[in-house]
Amino acid sequence: MQQFRPDKKQPVKKAPVAPASKPAAPGQSGYAAQKAALTPEGDSYDAQKAALSPDVGSVGGVKMDAMPGGPTNEPSRKKRKKKKRKSRARRRRAAARRRAQQAAAKKKRQQQLQPTTTDTTTDTTTDTTTVTPAPQPVVEPTPAPQPVVEPTPTVEPTPEPEPVVEPTPEPEPEPVVPLDPMLDPSVNPDPTNEYAPEADYEEFSGTIAVQGEGDAHAIDANDVKQGSIGNCYFVAQLAAMAMHKPDLIQDLIKDNGNGTYSVTLYLKDKVHTWKRSKTEVVVSSEFPTKGGGRAAYAKPGDKGSDGPELWVMLIEKAFAKYTGNYEETRGKKTKDGDVFAMMSGKSSGYKRLSSMSGDVLLRVLTTAVTNGQPVSFGAHGKSALDEEGQKGAKEAGVVLNHAYAMRGVDAKARTISLYNPWGVKHLDDIDVDVIKTYYSNIKIGA
Amino acid sequence: MSGLLRIEETTVADVDGWMLTVGNVMRGRWVDADGRAHEGLSAELGIYDAERALVSEFTVGPGLEVRIAGVRWRVAAVSPGPEPDDNGTLTLARLG
């Protein structure tokens, strides 16, 4: 047994009483914190050892040198045992208090984290593992947001119909696509040109064709009367076609019964210009006028019970609609001078009169008439003739730089008759040599 | 109708239902309203009534006066086309 030596400085031991509710160190968590807080032996093993060992100079924080009778005193042994019992009882009570406090703290914590949880009697060991859900407190106020959530479903029905509506307009544009301007009768070509800058559209109530006095057919060459634009090549070929193939023209035009007409032409492909496509062009019965209800361009034909005949005006307008305006139907600007092919779909033959004799010309023309082929003539331009030549053309009644339709040939008499698309100033029984002098070319339809 | 009427060569104009045809814009001779003879750029003008019957056809040049459907007109100008074989223009000025 060791003796107490007062000269030796003894370390002062802390009382073994552990704090009732020792908080876990800030960096301590989980099991380590729990162990540190809940171990029944106290704060540490060393502290426990110091508190219970009889060799240690103090018991329960009381210095031994303060005990009467010294360490070997019998009554003091009983006192020590009694103290030990009291000390154990205190520790047990302290541990019970700590457990109770731990349980209360855990219950409180669980109430904060999961108020709906009924497992409040969970063991402390499991309690340490349930500390993890830190973000949940943010979720707890959710009972309050519920009224906020409620209006949301009322908003949701609004976007729901939208996707239903959106697909509906998508298929709608498809039927709009086929609305080709060529088929839209409300689309009119520009009615103006340099000589009719004020031209505007007016309604003409009429019919496709009327068989007037002296007409062989309802579609007749004398229905052709050129207007205020230089498209003589166009109307001359219409007149020639009307002489030989009136039924073909009749079949090109259909009355739609609603004030519109469908005109079917073999129009040049705008990219591959050597190709022609059978194209329907729908036009209204509005035509350009210069005021006063009189047509600015091709004139109406014979008058019938349903009004004047319109076939020349309809075909001219359909071609103007194809080109975009009347201006580009003039001979100087046209992209398609083969009006025979435009109506029949078959290319015409073009011949220069300078390359053939009068006899050959008469033979070619006779053959064309026999075959029912339309023929048009083109007069010389002024530059092809000198002043005397121009004067001679005028005296012969020829309009230079103008187109005509052939309306007859007499091989025996060696004469040719031409129809002027003006509707007046025709040339009848002109000698073939005069023709060869003032005309440069012929066009023969298929 | 406005005071000036421009008619393209080789085409037909309409004046109060009457037809005016214009062709052969070239050098020629004409006599003006005062009876004086002129030579220069001229045009061939045809006048037809509403029934397409020929009323008159003659060579006209600047200064010449014509009567169309009872209305007097004066030839204001005869102009060539931009190119030799382009259509020329006859311009008439309404007098009454």
A401 and B10: CB-CB below 8 Å? yes
Query: Is residue A140 a part of any domain in this protein?
Result: no
The closest CB to that of B24, out of A296, A383, A394, belongs to: A394
Full pLDDT tens readout for chain A, 446 residues:
444 443 444 444 444 444 434 444 444 444 444 444 444 443 434 434 434 443 433 333 334 333 443 444 555 677 777 777 877 878 888 788 888 788 777 776 666 555 443 343 334 333 433 444 444 544 444 455 555 545 555 555 555 656 665 666 666 666 556 578 899 999 999 999 999 999 999 999 999 999 999 899 999 999 999 999 999 999 999 999 999 999 999 999 999 999 999 999 999 988 888 899 999 999 999 999 987 889 999 999 999 999 999 999 999 999 999 999 999 999 999 989 999 999 999 999 999 999 999 999 999 999 999 999 999 999 999 999 999 999 999 999 999 999 999 999 999 999 999 999 999 999 999 999 999 999 999 999 99
**Residue ranges making up the domain that contains A361:** 349-444
Q: Which residues of B touch A300 (CB under 8 A)?
A: none
Residues A327, A360 within the same domain = no
Residue A335 tokens read as: 């992209």
Residue A173 CA, chain-centre distance (Å), reads: 10
Residues A262, A404 within the same domain = no
Q: Which of A231, A204, A85 is nearest to B12 (CA)?
A: A231
Q: Which residues of B touch A (CB under 8 A)?
A: 1, 6-14, 16-17, 19, 21, 23-28, 44, 46, 48, 52, 54, 57, 84-87, 89
| Helix or strand run (H / E) with residue A260 | strand A260-268
Q: Which of B78, B40, B23 is nearest to A230 (CA)?
A: B23
B23 and A225: CB-CB below 8 Å? no
Query: Is residue A89 a part of any domain in this protein?
Result: no
> Token pair 């968590």 is at which residue?
A29
Q: Is A126 exposed, middle or buried (0-12, 13-18, 19+ CB in 10 A)?
A: exposed
Pair A415, A430: CB distance under 8 Å: yes
Residues A288, A186 within the same domain = yes
| Gap from A272 CA to chain B (nearest CA, Å) | 28
The per-residue pLDDT for range B8-43, each reduced to its tens digit, is: 999 999 999 999 999 999 999 998 878 899 999 999
Residues A189, A333 within the same domain = yes
Q: Which of A393, A399, A401 is nearest to A419 (CA)?
A: A399
Residues A394, A415 within the same domain = yes
Helical H segments across A371-408, by residue range = 387-395
Window 141-200 of A: residues touching B by CB (8 A cutoff) are 194-195
Residue A88 tokens read as: 């154990």
Rounded-to-10 torsion of CA A344, A352, A438, B27: 100
DSSP state of B85: T
Residue A261: partners with Cβ closer than 8 Å, 6 or more residues away: A208, A253, A254, A255, A282, A283, A284, A285, A310, A314
Residues A204, A327 within the same domain = yes
The closest CB to that of B84, out of A228, A229, A383, belongs to: A383
Strand order in A276-284's β-sheet? A253-255, A260-268, A276-284
Query: Is residue A206 a part of any domain in this protein?
Result: yes
Residues A245, A359 within the same domain = no
- Residue A79 has φ and ψ, to the nearest 5°, of -65, -40
Assign B27 to helix, strand or coil.
Answer: strand
Determine the pLDDT at residue A97.
82
Residues A339, A379 within the same domain = no
* Number of other CB atoms surrounding residue A340 within 10 Å: 26
> Token pair 């009882």 is at which residue?
A89
Residues A363, A333 within the same domain = no
When comparing pLDDT for B46 and A155, which is higher? Answer: B46
Residue A11 tokens read as: 């370390």
Distance in angstroms (rounded) separating the CA atoms of residues A399 and A232: 11
Distance in angstroms (rounded) separating the CA atoms of residues A234 and A222: 15
Q: Which of A82, A64, A81, A76 is nearest to A4 (CA)?
A: A64
Residue B89 tokens read as: 């223009």
Query: Is residue A87 a part of any domain in this protein?
Result: no
Residues A186, A289 within the same domain = yes
Q: Which residues of B touch A422 (CB under 8 A)?
A: 12, 19, 21
The closest CB to that of A399, out of B10, B17, B86, belongs to: B10
The closest CB to that of A381, out of B19, B52, B85, belongs to: B85
The closest CB to that of A228, out of B11, B23, B52, belongs to: B11
The ipTM value here is: 0.96
Determine the pLDDT at residue A12.
41
| Interchain contact A239–B (C-beta under 8 A) | no
Query: Is residue A169 a part of any domain in this protein?
Result: no
Query: Is residue A149 a part of any domain in this protein?
Result: no
Q: Which residues of A touch B5 (CB under 8 A)?
A: none
Distance in angstroms (rounded) separating the CA atoms of residues B67 and A294: 20
Closest residue in chain A to residue B80, using alpha carbons only: A382
Q: Are strands A403-410 and A276-284 parallel, antiparallel or unpaired?
A: unpaired
Residues A335, A400 within the same domain = no
Helices A30-38 and A74-113, axial angle in degrees (round to 10): 140
| Number of structural domains in chain A | 3
State the amino acid at position A169 in one-letter form. P
Residues A419, A384 within the same domain = yes
Query: Is residue A248 a part of any domain in this protein?
Result: yes
Query: Is residue A185 a part of any domain in this protein?
Result: yes
Residue A1 tokens read as: 């047994």
Distance in angstroms (rounded) separating the CA atoms of residues A343 and A278: 9
